[in-house]
Amino acid sequence: MSALLCAATTVMLVAACGGGSSGGAAGTGDAAAGGDVTLEFSQWWEPELPANALRGMMDEFEAANPGIKVKLLSGPYASTKEQSVAGAAAGTMADVVGLDGAWVSDFVKQGAITDLSKLMKDSAYDESQLAAQIKINNATYMIPVVNFVYPLFTNDDLLTKAGVSAPPSNRTEFLDAAKKITALGGDTKGWVVPLSLEAPNGIQNDVMAWNWASGGTMLKDGKPDLTNADVKETVEFVKGMWDAKLVAPGALTMKEQDKVEEFTNGRVGMMIDSLAHVTLIRENNPNLKFSISAIPAKDGYSGKRGIPYASWGIGISENSKHKAEAFKLVSFLMNEKNNSKLASVANAFPGNTTAVPDFVQNDDLFKAAFDIYKAGYPANEFTGLPVAEELMRSFDEELQKTLNGDQTVDEMLTNAQAGWTKNF
């Protein structure tokens, strides 16, 4: 019955939201009545930032925009997602919503988030300052505010011990380095890849990253194209690493935090990971010497390298009664000064092309990562896809079968393609 009650809880949540709706986005103020406009801003960012960082920025926004107040609705990522789903269904989404690229397509289908292209046009906003925009049918629905990029982390000591002089720059060098590190023996492995089905983002960050780093794609005209040569080479590369036993054990149920722990404890030579974890790794193992470099591309590739990223995105509710005021808040967070400030406190890269976060000046590792980011382009083809997390999960299941020897790479890609196509 728990499953029923789980579903029932969602229903109740939706019903409650619907019942409590006072029209438009939940609880916005009433400027017409002579009071301030109160914008609700739901996001998961505030708990992940230093205390008062986001509230402080909102106070600055309020000071710069008399008559507009911002009410922060903050919660963990998962709760924010569930509340946004419920709010989208009930038409009570907050005026300004923190978005993950994986949610955008579904919210657009529901008609829950508004077309930002129109708002940008109405307010003569200079789009060229935005590093990226998430578009569906040529209309922008999400703007990445800050980006957390996923470069290659290498354990300097293990590489030196294995006789590898520099971080690998192509797949052959990576394979060679992984073999030499694994040959050191003990618990040491060359690479770590988290493939847990609970949080299948390893497919995006650790598997498909290889494809994007070599300029590859998994889409064709916005539709799945998993059977193309680039994806096949990527999967074959991963399977080759697996079959050669160069991958840390436990990968099939490993989560991202487990991956970071394996690297931090010095059991793994190389991993692809979020820059956001640099501080955590330093705190947990101050003696670990590690470097950051671009994800190796396939041999002979000389084009720009895609670097996977996860975003704190922003959008505006379709039901908001104060879209113009809401866009003022979006513009505020995206201007050079404030975007730099937010990126600095979040240890992320800015969504404004001209913004430069403070940490880049003071820290060699972040500077290296910023150079990689500038030299390549942010790549995440899952952003904007329908049921993106489910696509990762179904790909993950097929990949696990392949790694387990239950099917060939070709069969895997055909099955994954068929599974994905159903959702488009």
Partner 1 sequence: MSTSVKAGPRQSPRPGPTRPIAPPRKPWRRRVEPYVYVFPTVLLMVVLMLVPIVMVIRYSLYDNVIMKKEPVLAGIANYTEILTDPDFWNAVKNTAFFTGTSVVAHLVLGMAFAMMLNTPLLGHVTKAIFRVLFILPWLFTVAIIAVLWRLLLNPNGVLNYLLQTGGLTDSKVEWLADPNLALYAVTFINIWSGYPFYMMSLLAGLQGIPRDLYEAATVDGASYWQRWWNVTVPQLRPIIVSIAMLDVIFTTQQFALIWMTTGGGPINVTEMLSTFTYKLAFNRYQFSLASASAVIIFVFSMVLAFFYVRYQKARD
> Using CB under 8 A as the criterion, which residues of the chain lie in contact with partner 1 when the complex forms?
1-12, 14-15, 82, 85, 89, 106, 109-111, 187, 195-199, 248-254, 258, 262, 267, 387, 389-390, 393, 396-397, 400-401, 404, 406
Whichever of 31 and 387 has its CB closer to partner 1, that residue is 387
Which pairing describes strands 290-293 and 223-224: parallel, antiparallel, or unpaired?
A: unpaired
Whichever of 171 and 393 has its CB closer to partner 1, that residue is 393
Whichever of 307 and 412 has its CB closer to partner 1, that residue is 412
Whichever of 200 and 315 has its CB closer to partner 1, that residue is 200
Given a contact cutoff of 8 angstroms between Cβ atoms, the answer to whether 149 and 274 are in contact is yes
Whichever of 261 and 325 has its CB closer to partner 1, that residue is 261
CA–CA gap between residue 55 and residue 336 (Å, rounded): 19
Whichever of 53 and 199 has its CB closer to partner 1, that residue is 199
Could you tell me the smallest distance in angstroms from the CB atom of residue 252 to partner 1?
A: 4
Alpha helices (H) along 205-272: 208-213, 229-243, 256-264
Could you tell me the smallest distance in angstroms from the CB atom of residue 205 to partner 1?
A: 16
CA–CA gap between residue 78 and residue 82 (Å, rounded): 6
Could you tell me the smallest distance in angstroms from the CB atom of residue 196 to partner 1?
A: 5
- Residues with Cβ < 8 Å from 19, sequence gap 6 or more? none
How would you classify residue 311: left for phi > 0, otherwise alpha for psi between -120 and 50, otherwise beta?
beta
Could you tell me the smallest distance in angstroms from the CB atom of residue 388 to partner 1?
A: 10
Could you tell me the smallest distance in angstroms from the CB atom of residue 375 to partner 1?
A: 35
Whichever of 42 and 84 has its CB closer to partner 1, that residue is 84
Could you tell me the smallest distance in angstroms from the CB atom of residue 30 to partner 1?
A: 26
Could you tell me the smallest distance in angstroms from the CB atom of residue 255 to partner 1?
A: 8
DSSP state of 130: B
CA–CA gap between residue 108 and residue 128 (Å, rounded): 23
Could you tell me the smallest distance in angstroms from the CB atom of residue 349 to partner 1?
A: 28
Residue 79 buriedness (CB in 10 A; 0-12 / 13-18 / 19+): middle
> What is the separation, in whole angstroms, between the first and last Cα of the chain?
32
- Residues with Cβ < 8 Å from 258, sequence gap 6 or more? 194, 196, 250
Amino acid identity, position 283 = E
Quickly list DSSP for 371-411: HHHHHSEEE-TTTT-TTHHHHHHHHHHHHHHHHTTSS-HHH
Nearest to 210 by CA among 300, 294, 311: 294
Give the three-class secondary structure for 96.
strand
Residue with token string 């983002």: 201
Given a contact cutoff of 8 angstroms between Cβ atoms, the answer to whether 226 and 160 are in contact is no
Nearest to 20 by CA among 87, 73, 70: 87
Residue 385 buriedness (CB in 10 A; 0-12 / 13-18 / 19+): buried
Determine the distance from the C-alpha atom of residue 33 to the mean position of all C-alpha atoms in its chain, rounded to a whole number: 41
Given a contact cutoff of 8 angstroms between Cβ atoms, the answer to whether 320 and 112 are in contact is no
Whichever of 90 and 208 has its CB closer to partner 1, that residue is 90
Could you tell me the smallest distance in angstroms from the CB atom of residue 11 to partner 1?
A: 5
Whichever of 115 and 389 has its CB closer to partner 1, that residue is 389
Could you tell me the smallest distance in angstroms from the CB atom of residue 13 to partner 1?
A: 10
Phi, psi angle pair for 41, to nearest 5°: -130, 100
Could you tell me the smallest distance in angstroms from the CB atom of residue 397 to partner 1?
A: 6
Whichever of 169 and 414 has its CB closer to partner 1, that residue is 414
Whichever of 46 and 389 has its CB closer to partner 1, that residue is 389
